[in-house]
Chain A
Amino acid sequence: MRKFIKFSAFAVLASLLFSSCGNEPVVIEDNISDSTSVNINEEPIVKVYSKYKFPSPLEIFIVLKDEGVKFNSSVINDLEKASTYTTTDRLAIGMGIYSADLSYCSMYEKSQLTMNYFAVNKSIADKLGLSSGFNKDLMDRIDKNINNADSLIKLTSNSYNQAVAFLEEQGQTKILPYIIFGEWIESAYITVNSTKKFSSDDIGVNIISEQSLLFENIYDYFNKANIKESNEALYNDVQDLYELYIELYNNEDEDITETQFNNIKAKITEIRNNWI
């Protein structure tokens, strides 16, 4: 059991900490050139950095659960799909997708599924070469603190920097937009499928509506990361969904109409199925 616990904790670290890079906003730091000024009186240059903070999918699942939405195992990604992901982009997207599934399962306390999704995330982390980002010292500390939740939390906090540093050293920060996309599209897919019939009061409908703001940041982030050049098909999918979301701004009395919701739901489903 101890080995199992240790493995699981490692899996948590190896996969989830990296997948939590999906929340990691430091990847793209822009010097916003038009906001940078140089004073002719030789005062210091003002440096302006723009960063992104993406709330995790867990924020969505907390609300769904609190509102009494039942767990639906049919909407999470098939574990077997992981073996079909071979390119770096697909692996990173897969990691994001499985990370969202993992969050969903753990939020609903589905122990066995959670363990299964731990394992698949670990395997993808291995394929991406991310697992080696954790050194032996960290593993030893996990071993010593395996029964202390608070210590584990602190350890994982400390290890996050190791993970980011490792990604930077390996030149792999470019995979982070893919992980963010995977997390978002899977959590959106789970959410749209929690709604059986459109109603402006439905929690799923409301979440999808307010996700327009987050998705705009993702779209912005994709543009800054030049995803159009590295993966045009994915960029086009994101662009299509962005254009549907932009239509919500035309609404005057309601946040989202039934037609708009259905269009967005169909596009989310299409895009998610393109990339699982």
Chain B
Amino acid sequence: MKINKLILILLSFVFISNTNVFSQNCYREDYGFDEAAEDGDNYYEFEDGSYYGYAEGGDTILIKTVLYGRRKYKVLVSTLDNLQIASWKIIQNKKSTKLTKKTRNEKYEYTYKTNDKGEYIAEDGKVLDDFGRKTDKNGEVIKNNGRAVDFRVVTNRAVVSADTIYSREVVNEEIEIYSGSDGSEMVKKNKKAKSVIIKLIFAPGEDGGCYGVFIGNQRSKSKKAGKNW
């Protein structure tokens, strides 16, 4: 008897720690959902992954979660009260890297505006010396506040040398893997783990209500852990 009670507590813990009931008094049992968990020799465990919440008509809810690999999942959505689901989607948030090429320490060769004689000329057409400076009739460099100014006009800039750097940038890609409506469900084997966003769009309306996103992963009835769960 003592052992039985101990097991009872342990089992209750197992369930408790996996029971996710969320805000606004939305309870799993309100959805009358237990029967859907059976699947022949297997069953779907919904306790850990499911999500319950409250929304108003017209709201959009995005739930970020992870579907682990090597498992078969069943995902469905249910609403209570007057809340109506307009549509829902499962969007994979897939990240990858893209090799990008960048350059730095560029060295340039400039081409400047010249006249028919090949002399540098300023924007105003005045002929400049070999360093692009304006000179007076005596050939003296005209300074501005004591400094010589380069008046050459750049007509072209060409890179003559540069260091090339390759780097990888993380690219985020959103892939729709399921699109459903009220009452539909996705059943899918998940070979590899996926980061997903479950997007719920509720029909416009004045009333709010509870919604449940049931995310069940398949387990075998024959496994001990499965029985406990």
Contact = CB atoms under 8 A, between A and B. Distances in A.
Interface of A: 1, 5, 8-9, 12-13, 16-17, 19-20, 23-26, 32, 35, 44, 46-56, 58-59, 62-63, 65-66, 99, 102-103, 106-107, 109, 111, 114, 118, 146-147, 149, 152-154, 156-158, 160-161, 164, 206, 210, 213-214, 216-217, 220, 246, 249-250, 255
6 contacts: A12-B13, A25-B65, A44-B204, A51-B64, A58-B48, A160-B20
A24 B48 CA distance: 11
Interface in B46-60: 48-49, 51, 53, 55-56, 58-60
Interface stretch (B125-133, B147-155, B189-197): B189-197
Contacts, number: 177
B48 A56 contact: yes
Nearest to B23: A26
B19 A49 contact: no
Interface stretch (B1-9, B76-84, B178-186): B1-9
Given A5-B9, A153-B12, A49 B58 contact: no
Contacts of B20: 20, 23-24, 53, 160
A54 B53 CA distance: 15
Contacts of A158: 21, 27
Given A158-B27, A249-B96, 4 more contacts: A5-B8, A46-B59, A55-B66, A158-B21
A102 B13 contact: yes
A161 B21 contact: yes
A22 to B, nearest CB: 9
Contacts of B193: 210, 213
Instruction: Bin the interface of chain B by size.
Output: 35 or more
A47 B13 CA distance: 37
A47 to B, nearest CB: 5
A44 B58 CA distance: 8
Nearest to B61: A49
B144 interface: no
Contacts of B53: 26, 51
